[in-house]
Amino acid sequence: MSRTQFRLLRCQSAINRVQGMPFRWSLNPYRGCAHACQYCYARVTHAYFNLNLGRDFEEQIFVKTNLAAVLRDELNRPSWRHESIAIGTATDPYQPAEGTFRITRQCLQVLAEIANPCSVTTKGTLIVRDIDVMQQLARDTRFEVHLSLITLDRDLWRRLEPGAPSPASRLRALERLRSAGVPVSVFLMPIVPGLTDRPERLAEVVRAAAEHGAQAVWSSSLRLAPGVKEWFFDFLRRDFPHLVPSYERGYAGSREAPALYRQKVADRVDAAKADVVLTPACATPTLTRIGRQYCLPVP
């Protein structure tokens, strides 16, 4: 039986100005996420509600019921300059709650009304429900879906992303979106040291992405902010205790894996990408490359 509880709230603002990230504006229909990814950097946001970043983050889902209406008001302000908006930067906009509340779809419809550039990042296969509005966005403005996929291994998927759709179902969603003319890239991120970083594991994700029509694959290594770091280390102690010593060394005093490690796995991804043919974009790309990270263009 699901223990998920939905907390309905009315928001005062929709678009968030983002600092220290490779995009300027974000939009998040929900807080908390039933996908329960062990590594999720957004877990720390539940502290804003005096909740913990563990089970509360996974089971206490905040739903911004009036988000689409507030978004419409903000987009119609004379000061708004039609900059690109990243949807799903804090929690997944196509987590199971979306099947009930449809907040993400409502927001996409508002963005489509004025052809405002945007992107969606998700693991959720429910996204195929909204192919119609995404086709409109792809036709009228800069739009792209970023489908998160870090492994094809079913055991690792169940342990790392216990509430998320299976890798196979995500690939089917990718294929459906691309067949409908929606631009889709794969986010092979985070690459998890000792678990998803072997050359053959990375190569099979890149190969599957190409075979299902991805126009690009973007990667980055695991980053562990305070709070999330302690949660993830507890997960390792339960499921992969042999990895704990290397993590304690590698992430000592840092949110990032060592630079040499990050370079090594990035080279592995590049080598894998050199062996496949990625489908050309069917619309103006919304991504440009900065090293081996990604960013949304800033108008």
Q: Given pLDDT bands bounded at 50, 70 and 90, which one contains residue 196?
A: very high
Residues of the chain with CATH 3.20.20.70: 123-222+257-283
What's the number of CA atoms in the CB half-sphere (13 Å) around residue 286? 25
- Note the pLDDT tens digit of each residue in 124-141: 999 999 999 999 999 999
CB 1 within 8 A of CB 10: no
- Note the pLDDT tens digit of each residue in 28-73: 999 999 999 999 999 998 988 889 999 999 999 999 999 999 999 9
The average pLDDT across 225-234 equals 96
Residue 57: the pLDDT is 95
Domain 123-222+257-283 has CATH 3.30.300.30: no
Q: Cα–Cα distance between 72 and 64 in angstroms, integer?
A: 14
Q: Cα–Cα distance between 40 and 89 in angstroms, integer?
A: 11
Burial 173-211 (b: 16+ CB within 10 A, else e): bbbbbbeeebbbbbbbbbbbbebbbeeebbbbbbbbbbe
Residue 298: the pLDDT is 23
- Note the pLDDT tens digit of each residue in 104-119: 999 999 999 999 999 9
Residue 164: the pLDDT is 98
Q: Given pLDDT bands bounded at 50, 70 and 90, which one contains residue 19?
A: confident
Per-chain mean pLDDT for the chain: 91
Peptide bond before 190: cis, by omega within 30 degrees of 0? yes
